[in-house]
């Protein structure tokens, strides 16, 4: 199908790509401001204003591409009967956000389809967005951080970047993003003979901060490679806004989320039910919306850790003897549970803050013995697995001071760090004849169950993916 999107919006383009629709993208370059002013002058309804703007865009492109299906799009924001366009200055945006604070406004989304210079289909949706009460300081901070981007958006915000500005929404994600994909696909499927297009499913990684996450790269690769109709993004949510924002995102159409620092414990409490491993670990890194509408929490970190060991080692036996785990954070918690479930008879736990290690051991199992940080070298002859679950040795972090001269040469040594891919710990262990396993595989494998739950496909972890994530 020869399809053109008459829009320069990167988000609309992303939605079409997520639906696995091959389209061209052209900017119509119409005089939106004067068209809008003339329509307001004759007291046109907001939906008619949006529809007319979308139609002008589609018509302009269609006249030059008569054989193509052309999608025209436009959005306008309406509050207290006033139509809001793009903010003309930071000062104007400050005034706008002050007016929206604690109030509900409407977002009118219009889509039309043209062919041979004539309209073939049109659709208008209206979403209701309620903004939470925002302080003057918050508004100033927001404008300073986001002005270069939001100055091009009606109302001066990007919902996808800062959904925590809102307390509730009535509408769906695609309408709010400016492309009503469900009715568009319904029309396109009636007019093409190939395999039917499917509405993209949505997932995201949630964190604070979250820009450093490799998850969008990883899941984006799987979506493309498996030709799955779906999209995966990163969303930054402050901890105090987590519950409200996540509930709202589920309401607008998300199938689930990866959850990273600092939300893992909060995610577990948020869910309606949880897997046994998430319960034992005491934290969740995966949220899934079930067919019943309930939210289920899981923790796949331990799965990722064990699968990585199994894929990289042909000799490791969990029951061969004790393990040594360094660290007492969330990653260590998942590793401890995974090792015990795999059959490791005893684990020595060592952390720079001994009290934290003791609390963790008490939470999980009597099979865990806490030792002092200074004594970690002394236990090496007795252990068959060594795991670094701290950030020590990571690029930009202090080194891990760990003398391996007494290490059991039959031991497997693994580091959860993957930047650098081979840490000093792994180099030292390899030099002493130990089998070593890097941490990149844990990152990749932990994402597999979530992808399957959200998108209905079990993806492969391979060298191509590893190279992509490490690039």
CB 416 within 8 A of CB 439: yes
Query: What average pLDDT score do residues 198-211 get?
Result: 96
Single out the catalytic residue among 57, 115, 264, 376: 264
Query: What average pLDDT score do residues 68-97 get?
Result: 94
Strands (E), 199-318: 201-207, 230-236, 254-259, 273-274, 286-289, 295-298
Quick check: is 397 catalytic?
no
Domains and CATH numbers, the chain: 3-190 (3.90.950.10), 202-300+447-470 (3.40.50.10860), 311-440 (3.40.50.720)
Q: Using CA atoms, how far apart are residues 402 and 375, in angstroms rounded to an integer? A: 10
Query: Does residue 296 or residue 152 have the better pLDDT?
Result: 296
Confidence tier at 131 by pLDDT (50, 70, 90)? very high
| Percent above pLDDT 90 for the chain | 94
- Partners of 4 in beta bridges: 24, 70
The tally of CA atoms less than 13 A away on the side-chain side of residue 368 is 26
DSSP state of 81: T
- Partners of 230 in beta bridges: 201
- How much is the pLDDT for 62? 97
**Tokens encoding 110:** 């219009």
Q: Using CA atoms, how far apart are residues 351 and 361, in angstroms rounded to an integer? A: 11
3-state secondary structure of 312: helix
Query: What average pLDDT score do residues 33-40 get?
Result: 93
Query: What average pLDDT score do residues 294-322 get?
Result: 95
- How much is the pLDDT for 85? 82
272: number of Cβ within 10 Å: 12
CB 326 within 8 A of CB 387: yes
- Which candidate, 198, 210, 157, 114, places its Cα nearest to that of 456? 198
Tens of pLDDT, residue by residue over 144-173, are 999 999 998 888 999 999 999 999 999 999
Query: What average pLDDT score do residues 39-47 get?
Result: 94
227: number of Cβ within 10 Å: 9
Query: What average pLDDT score do residues 38-55 get?
Result: 95
- Which candidate, 347, 321, 322, 345, places its Cα nearest to that of 334? 347
CB 447 within 8 A of CB 258: yes
| Percent above pLDDT 70 for the chain | 100
Query: What average pLDDT score do residues 411-427 get?
Result: 95
In whole numbers, what is the pLDDT of the chain averaged over residues?
Answer: 95
Least confident of 50-54, 95-99, 100-104, 311-315: 311-315
The tally of CA atoms less than 13 A away on the side-chain side of residue 287 is 32
Strands (E), 21-94: 24-26, 69-79, 82-84
- How much is the pLDDT for 374? 95
């Amino acid at each position: 199908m020869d399809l053109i999107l008459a829009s320069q919006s990167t988000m609309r383009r992303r939605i079409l790509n997520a639906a696995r629709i091959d389209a061209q993208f052209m900017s119509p370059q119409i005089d939106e401001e004067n068209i809008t002013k003339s329509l307001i002058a004759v007291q046109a309804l907001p939906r008619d204003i949006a529809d007319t703007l979308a139609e002008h865009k589609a018509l302009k492109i269609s006249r030059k591409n008569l054989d193509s299906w052309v999608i025209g799009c436009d959005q306008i924001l309406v509050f207290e009967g006033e139509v809001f366009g793009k903010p003309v200055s930071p000062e104007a945006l400050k005034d706008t956000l002050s007016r929206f604070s604690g109030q509900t406004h409407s977002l009118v989304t219009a889509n039309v389809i043209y062919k041979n210079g004539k309209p073939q289909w049109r659709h208008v949706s209206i979403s209701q967005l309620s903004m939470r009460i925002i302080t003057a300081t918050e508004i100033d901070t927001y404008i300073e951080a986001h002005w270069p981007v939001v100055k091009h958006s009606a109302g001066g915000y990007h919902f996808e970047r800062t959904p925590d500005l809102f307390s509730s929404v009535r509408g769906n994600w695609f309408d709010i993003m400016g492309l009503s994909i469900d009715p568009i696909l319904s029309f396109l499927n009636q007019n093409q003979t190939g395999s039917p297009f499917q509405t993209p499913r949505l997932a995201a990684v949630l964190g604070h901060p979250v820009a450093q996450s490799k998850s969008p790269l990883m899941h984006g690769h799987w979506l493309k490679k498996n030709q799955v109709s779906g999209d995966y993004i990163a969303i930054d949510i402050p901890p105090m806004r987590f519950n409200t924002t996540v509930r709202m995102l589920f309401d607008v159409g998300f199938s689930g989320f990866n959850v990273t620092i600092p939300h893992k414990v909060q995610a577990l409490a948020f869910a309606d039910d949880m897997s046994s491993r998430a319960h034992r670990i005491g934290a969740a890194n995966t949220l899934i919306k079930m067919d019943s509408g309930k939210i289920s929490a899981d923790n796949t970190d331990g799965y990722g850790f064990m699968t990585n060991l199994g894929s990289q080692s042909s000799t490791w036996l969990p029951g061969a003897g004790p393990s040594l785990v360094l660290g007492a954070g969330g990653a260590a918690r998942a590793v401890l549970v995974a090792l015990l479930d795999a059959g490791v008879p005893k684990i020595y736990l060592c952390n720079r803050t001994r009290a934290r290690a003791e609390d963790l051991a008490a939470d999980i199992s009597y099979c865990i013995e806490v030792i002092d940080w200074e004594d970690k070298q002394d236990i090496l002859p007795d252990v068959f697995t060594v795991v670094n679950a701290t950030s020590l040795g990571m690029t930009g972090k202090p080194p891990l001071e760990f003398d391996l001269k007494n290490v059991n040469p039959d031991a497997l040594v693994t580091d959860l760090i993957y930047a650098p891919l081979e840490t000093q710990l792994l180099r030292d262990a390899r030099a002493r004849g130990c089998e070593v396993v890097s941490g990149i595989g844990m990152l990749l494998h932990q994402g597999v169950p979530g992808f399957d739950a959200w998108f209905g496909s079990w993806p492969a972890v391979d060298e191509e993916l590893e190279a992509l994530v490490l690039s």
